[in-house]
């Protein structure tokens, strides 16, 4: 029981110390943030939804030297640039795919309309043929009736 309570106390101490560090880092300028060993500067960036995020100071997650932080920042910029180019390629592929789908839909609609016109023309032709056959039959019946009389 003593172990659990001591672990709980340590957890609270760590939590409150990180909260106080966060308060120390929040709102600092780039130069003030880089001077503090417990804070690190996050450069501004553009999100996928094209919203600009300004640079800000945050609690440092890694306890390291400034050389390591500078190296990490430069590698994160390269990774961000790579991710941005991948996103733009994926976006252009999606646009092309959407365009293809819309073109397919248009041609599909056009094909359906053409098929409907063809079917209507066939029905009209069949009706005209039926009417002509009925007329011919009536004329034949009329001529037979004349012959009998």
Q: What is the pLDDT of residue 17?
A: 45
The model's pTM: 0.30
CA 60 to CA 40: how far, in whole Å? 5
CA 93 to CA 96: how far, in whole Å? 5
pLDDT digits (tens, 9 = 90+) for 78-124: 666 666 677 777 777 776 776 676 776 777 778 888 889 999 999 99
Give the bridge partners for 53, in sequence order. 45
CA 21 to CA 38: how far, in whole Å? 7
């Amino acid at each position: 029981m003593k172990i659990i309570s001591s672990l709980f106390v340590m957890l609270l101490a760590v939590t409150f110390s990180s909260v106080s560090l966060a308060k120390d880092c929040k709102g600092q300028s780039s130069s003030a943030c880089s001077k503090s060993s417990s804070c690190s500067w996050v450069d501004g960036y553009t999100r996928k939804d094209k919203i600009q995020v300004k640079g800000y100071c945050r609690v440092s997650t890694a306890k390291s030297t400034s050389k390591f932080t500078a190296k990490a920042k430069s590698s994160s910029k390269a990774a961000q640039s790579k991710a941005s180019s991948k996103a733009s390629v994926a976006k252009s592929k999606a646009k092309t795919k959407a365009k293809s789908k819309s073109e397919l839909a248009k041609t599909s609609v056009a094909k359906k309309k053409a098929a409907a016109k063809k079917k209507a023309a066939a029905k009209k032709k069949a009706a005209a043929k039926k009417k002509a056959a009925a007329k011919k039959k009536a004329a034949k019946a009329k001529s037979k009736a004349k012959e009998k009389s």
